[in-house]
Amino acid sequence: MKKAPPPKIEGVITRGTTGINRLRRSDRWIVHNRTIAHALNNAADPLIVDLGYGARPDTTFEMASRLTAVRRDRRVIGLEIDPARVVESRDGVSFARGGFELAGLTPVFVRAFNVLRQYPEDAVDSAWAHIQSGLAPGGLLLDGTCDELGRRCAWVLLDADRPLTLTLAWDPFDIERPSDTAERLPKALIHRNVPGEPIHALLSAADRAWATAAPHASFGPRHRWAAALEILRAQGIPVQPARRRLRDCILTVPWHVVAPNP
C-alpha cells in the first residue's frame, strides 16, 4: 500500500526572532493553568507542539523542561515552516517542518508564539481554525505575542471551537500602567484597541484601577496590582483569580469580555 503523502504545509515564513527565556511568563502561566493541566493529564498521548519556534529552539526546550512538572511523559515536537530552522532532535524534543497543518500531528496542546503577529488581521480566524481542526480531542491552542525581552506579553487560549480567555502578563517593574501592554496584544485584538471596542474598555478600566490602587505603591508593584485586580472584580469585571503567588503581573479574563465588535 502506498504511503499517504505528507499534508501541504500551510503558512508563510516569518522573521523567526527568538531569545533565551523570552517566553518565561507564558511558560509559568501554562504550567499552573488548570485547563491546560486537565487536557494534558487526560490525554492518551500527551503530545505538545511548539509551532513556529523561530531561528533557534531555545524556548521549545525551555517549555519542554517546565511542562515535566505537569506531566513527565509529555512529548514535545517543534515545528518550523522554514526548513533551514529545523534542527536535530535532542534532550527528548523532536523537530520537523510544518505550519498550521501541524505536519499531520494531533497534539493536545499547541503553542504558537509571535507567529500570527506577523500576519494580517483578516488571516487570524482561518489560521486559528486550521490549527484547531488538527487538535486531539480536548486539545488547546495558545496564540501569543511578546516584546523582544519577554517583559510584556499577551496570549489567547482556545479550545477546538472558540477562544476561551485573554491573558496580559508583564514585568511588574517594566510599565507605568497596564495599558502599556497594548503594543503586544495578539493580532486578533491589536487593531481593535480604540474607543468603543471591548479591549479598549478593559485596558482603560485596568488603568483606572491601577491609579486607584496608588496608595499600595509603597508595598511594591505586585501588591499594587493585586489591589487593582480586587477593584476590577468589585466593578463586575470577571477577572480570573491567581492560583498561586505570582512574580508577574497577570490579567486574565474570559474572551467574551474582549471579543471584537462585529
Domains and CATH numbers, the chain: 24-257 (3.40.50)
Computed on alpha carbons and rounded to an integer, the radius of gyration of the chain in Å comes to 18
Cα distance between residue 216 and residue 227, in whole Å: 7
| pLDDT tens digits, 145-185 | 999 999 999 999 999 999 999 999 999 999 999 999 999 99
Say if residues 167 and 199 touch (Cβ distance below 8 Å): no
Partners of residue 165 on adjacent β-strands: 157, 254
Please state the pTM of the whole predicted model: 0.94
| pLDDT tens digits, 89-126 | 998 999 999 999 999 999 999 999 999 988 999 999 99
| pLDDT tens digits, 3-36 | 566 678 888 777 767 889 999 999 999 999 999 9
What pLDDT band is residue 238 in, cutting at 50, 70 and 90?
A: very high
Work out the average pLDDT over 184-202: 98
pLDDT of 243 reads 65
Burial class (CB in 10 A: 0-12, 13-18, 19+), 32: middle
Partners of residue 104 on adjacent β-strands: none
Say if residues 253 and 240 touch (Cβ distance below 8 Å): yes
* Backbone phi, psi, residue 247, to 5°: -90, -20
